[in-house]
Amino acid sequence: MPPLTKFWLFTLKDPSKSASTLKPLLTEILNFCSSFTNPHYNATSAPENNKNAPTHAFYTITNKPNHMLMITGYPSQELNNEADKVYAEKYLPRLFEHVQHIWLRQIEVDIRELPLGGEGVVVSVDEGISGGEGSDFGGVGKGGWDVWKKTRQGSERDDVVQGARKGESVGERVWVHVRKWDGQEEGVDGSEVEGRSVFYLSKLVGR
């Protein structure tokens, strides 16, 4: 199966707490994830312009207070499933003491092809797109169609993440796009654009 990249959006349950208070736990999670993937990725060549990009990272969302996004990559669905069995049992209960799940997306794109080498990144999620390759921002960055609900993990995860993704239409097509951000300019909040959510991310911790 092809490499994959997952995007997990969640929010802090206690708005008075800073995301940095979770950094020790998030670092532990990333160390666990990278123990599965990095031996494989280190054995293969990475794109020359993306050698310092993390394979797994947590970001704060600058235009949505108290929200965070995890971007994580695996060389195959099989390896992701293997890691997820342990992750769901060992880390999710601890993490859900502090955060509330919102959604999870998955695209069949190698994470090393995404522009994640800097401290900032923009992730756009377009819902209901039909035809073409979604919003390509003039060829800047890279994206893919969400296939999360088509995976066995996606169909089984609802109970684990408290009824995730309920209410979404079966025929929904979602395009997830990633491009660089220099941290200077921010567009409008995604809630102001019909069918699109735009997240301006600042890296908290990555591996």
What pLDDT is recorded for position 169? 47
User: How far apart are alpha carbons 138 and 160 in whole angstroms?
Assistant: 38
What pLDDT is recorded for position 153? 73
DSSP 120-158: EEEEEEEES--STTS--GGG-SEEEE--GGGSHHHHHTT
CATH number of the CATH domain containing 24:
3.30.70.100
CB 105 within 8 A of CB 125: yes
Torsion angle defined by CA atoms of residues 81, 87, 90 and 96, in that order, rounded to the nearest 10 degrees: -120
Q: Which residues contact 51 (CB under 8 A, 6 or more apart)?
A: 117
Task: Please state the domain count of the chain.
Answer: 1
What pLDDT is recorded for position 188? 54
Coil/strand/helix, residue 99: strand
Identify the domain containing residue 192 by its residue range.
Answer: 4-206
- Say what the pTM is: 0.86
What pLDDT is recorded for position 167? 42
185: Cα separation from own chain's centroid: 21
What pLDDT is recorded for position 194? 67
What pLDDT is recorded for position 40? 76
Using CA of residue 56, residue 60, residue 66, residue 67, what is the dihedral sign? negative
What pLDDT is recorded for position 32? 96
Task: For the chain, 207 residues long, give each residue's pLDDT as a single digit of tens.
Answer: 789 999 999 999 999 999 999 999 999 999 999 998 988 776 565 555 566 789 999 999 999 999 999 999 999 999 999 999 999 999 999 999 999 999 999 999 999 999 999 999 999 999 876 545 656 666 689 999 999 988 877 767 654 444 444 444 445 789 999 999 988 777 655 444 668 899 999 999 999
What pLDDT is recorded for position 168? 47
Using CA of residue 96, residue 99, residue 102, residue 105, what is the dihedral sign? negative
What pLDDT is recorded for position 157? 61
CA angle in degrees (0–180, nearest 5) for 111-115-118: 115
